C-alpha cells in the first residue's frame, strides 16, 4: 500500500520536475551557454561541418559579450540579418510533437540549428576599414595586413575598401573559398551576435578551446577569457573524465 502511494506521488511530481528542468535549460541557453551544431564547411579546419564528416558540436558562451563587444579574431555565432541567405536548408516540422523534439535537440546541440544561425570569425569592427587584398594577397584592416594562421583554402577575392559604422562587424569564414560571408552580404550588427564560440565538445577526439588569435596584433585578445574558463570548467572536467 505504501509503495503504491509512493508511485502515485512520483507520477504527480514528474510533470513538475520535467517543467523545472525545461525552464532551467531555457534560462541557461538564453543567458549563459548554448550548444551549437556546425552546419557547413565554411569554418574548416577550425570547425568541422563538411559533407561526410562528423560535424562539431560546440558551446557558445554569452557572458563574454555582456560588457564588451566581439573583438577581431573571435569566432561568433549570430542570427543572420535579412540580407543573408541560408547556408543550409533546414526544413521545419509542421506537427507539434516534431517541433518539440527539434527544440529539445537544438537545446542540447544534437540537432541542426535554425537556418538563420551562422558561425564566422570577426575580422574587423566598427570604425575600421577592411579590404582585400595587399600585394601578398592578404586582407587588410586600416591598411595593415592581418595575421591569419587559421586560413584553409584561401580565396583572394578582391573587395572594399569598406568602412564599418559603430556597432557593425565584418565577419568571414576560415574556409574562404567555401564561405558566403560579409564579402557577399555585408556587415552584421553587434546585436545580431548570439555568443562566442568557446569550446568544441564533440567528437571527443576534437575536444578543446576555440582560439581567438590577435589577428590585428593589438595584444587585446587571447585564447580564452577568464570568465568563460570559469563558466565552462564543470563541463570541461566532465569531458576530460570521460576521455
* Residue 120 bears catalytic tag: yes
How far apart (Å, rounded) are the C-alpha atoms in residues 47 and 206? 9
Q: Are 174 and 150 in contact (CB under 8 A)?
A: yes
Return left, alpha or beta for 143; rule: phi > 0 is left, psi -120 to 50 is alpha, else beta.
left
How many other CB atoms sit within 10 Å of the CB of residue 97?
A: 8
Catalytic residue among 40, 42, 198, 212: 42
Residues contacting residue 210 through CB under 8 Å, at least 6 positions apart:
46, 47, 58, 75, 197, 198, 199, 200
> Exposed/middle/buried for 122, CB within 10 Å: 0-12, 13-18, 19+?
buried
How far apart (Å, rounded) are the C-alpha atoms in residues 182 and 60? 21
Catalytic residue among 120, 182, 198, 221: 120
How far apart (Å, rounded) are the C-alpha atoms in residues 120 and 232? 21
Q: Which residue has the cell 591569419?
A: 148
* Residue 4 bears catalytic tag: no
Cis peptide before 94 (omega within 30 of 0): no
Our measurement of the distance from residue 14's CA atom to the centroid of its chain's CA atoms, rounded to an integer in Å, reads: 34
> Which residues are known catalytic residues?
42, 120
Amino acid at each position: 500500500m505504501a509503495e503504491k502511494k509512493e508511485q502515485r506521488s512520483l507520477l504527480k511530481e514528474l510533470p513538475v520536475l520535467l517543467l523545472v528542468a525545461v525552464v532551467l535549460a531555457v534560462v541557461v541557453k538564453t543567458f549563459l551557454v548554448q550548444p551549437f551544431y556546425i552546419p557547413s564547411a565554411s569554418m574548416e579546419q577550425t570547425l568541422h561541418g563538411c559533407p561526410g564528416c562528423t560535424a562539431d558540436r560546440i558551446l557558445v558562451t554569452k557572458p563574454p559579450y555582456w560588457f564588451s563587444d566581439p573583438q577581431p579574431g573571435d569566432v561568433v555565432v549570430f542570427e543572420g540579418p535579412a540580407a543573408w541567405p541560408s547556408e543550409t536548408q533546414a526544413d521545419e516540422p509542421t506537427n507539434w510533437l516534431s517541433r518539440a523534439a527539434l527544440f529539445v535537440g537544438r537545446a542540447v546541440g544534437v540537432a541542426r540549428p535554425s537556418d538563420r544561425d551562422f558561425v564566422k570569425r570577426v575580422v574587423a569592427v566598427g570604425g575600421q576599414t577592411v579590404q582585400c587584398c595587399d600585394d601578398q594577397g592578404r586582407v587588410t584592416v586600416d591598411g595593415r595586413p592581418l595575421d591569419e594562421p587559421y586560413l584553409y583554402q584561401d580565396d583572394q577575392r578582391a573587395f572594399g575598401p569598406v568602412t564599418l559604422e559603430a556597432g557593425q562587424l565584418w565577419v568571414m569564414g576560415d574556409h574562404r573559398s567555401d564561405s558566403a560571408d560579409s564579402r557577399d552580404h555585408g556587415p552584421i550588427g553587434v546585436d545580431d551576435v548570439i555568443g562566442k564560440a568557446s569550446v568544441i565538445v564533440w567528437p571527443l577526439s576534437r575536444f578543446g578551446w576555440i582560439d581567438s588569435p590577435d589577428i590585428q596584433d593589438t595584444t587585446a585578445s587571447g585564447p580564452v577569457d577568464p570568465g568563460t574558463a570559469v563558466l565552462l570548467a564543470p563541463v570541461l572536467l566532465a569531458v576530460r573524465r570521460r576521455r
